[in-house]
Structure 1
Amino acid sequence: MQQKLRERREKAALNSVVAGLGPLLTGNALVPDAVPEWIPQAIARTWELSAEPVELLSDDSSPEELDAWLASLLTAHNLTARLYVATHLGIRPWLECHVLPHNRTARLREVIEEPWMFLSSSLDTLLIVSEAEYHYEAYVARADDQGG
């Protein structure tokens, strides 16, 4: 009974994410079994105290500055054309989107809770952006660096 209730909640949450992202979505997704093994390990490493972000942005930046920064991070780390966005949902952990110009990252921020995680369509680069105490932090992991 609990499992069915959990599945129903996840499906409702996924429907909300899909509706919110709308035209950004390509219709493709990564199911849990298709997520490369190095990804969970790389995500866990970003939460370690010794993890150093590759870039920081002040948390009192305007929403427009945050959106422009997110878009520049995607470009700087070659997350172009198509990419996967983490949903934080077990049934569909990653949805494929068209690249997000800075005027569309606001939509993503409204729909997806942070940390915002982006995976290249080639499944070899992961960008994680999270809000810390006084700033936003960006972390990058690559499959080659993780043994994946």
Structure 2
Amino acid sequence: MTAPTRTTWDVPAAVVEANVRVLTLAAAASRTNSPSDALAFRLDEWLVTHPDAVKVDADPAWDHHIAEVERLNEEHRIAAEFNRIFPVGTPVIAYPGARPEDIPTTPRLITKTRSKAVVRCGSAVVWVEGHGAWICLTHIDIRTGGAS
């Protein structure tokens, strides 16, 4: 009788290869005198028999998460730069609803800042006098020249 070839095995080759790895690791663990090596061989043996424990596929949400973290970091940089240049009390024109380029009839407030810029709900914002909510820095124009 001849030995079976890979093509005539009655189990998938991946199963046979995994079993060979397990037997090799088990033999190595039984021959070592080092408790830490024996533990490492047993751990490797467990990982070989539980391939789902270690995923090599990237998490599909990871790219989105990294992009969101980068976006929030940029918002924090924008707020910090605004605070570095413009102190509390800086004269501004604020557009609470939308910018006039987007909606020409939007109200505009001739006012001044009453807080430092911070990041809230993912956007760099500031509070202004005469308005009860924060306003995104994208809806703030600095007033230059003239009396405040």
Query: What TM-score, normalized by structure 1, do the two folds share?
Result: 0.28
Q: Which has the higher helix share?
A: 2
> Which of structures 1 and 2 has the bigger CA Rg?
2
Q: TM-score, normalised by structure 2?
A: 0.28
Could you say which structure has the greater relative contact order, defined with CA pairs below 8 angstroms and 6 or more residues apart? 1
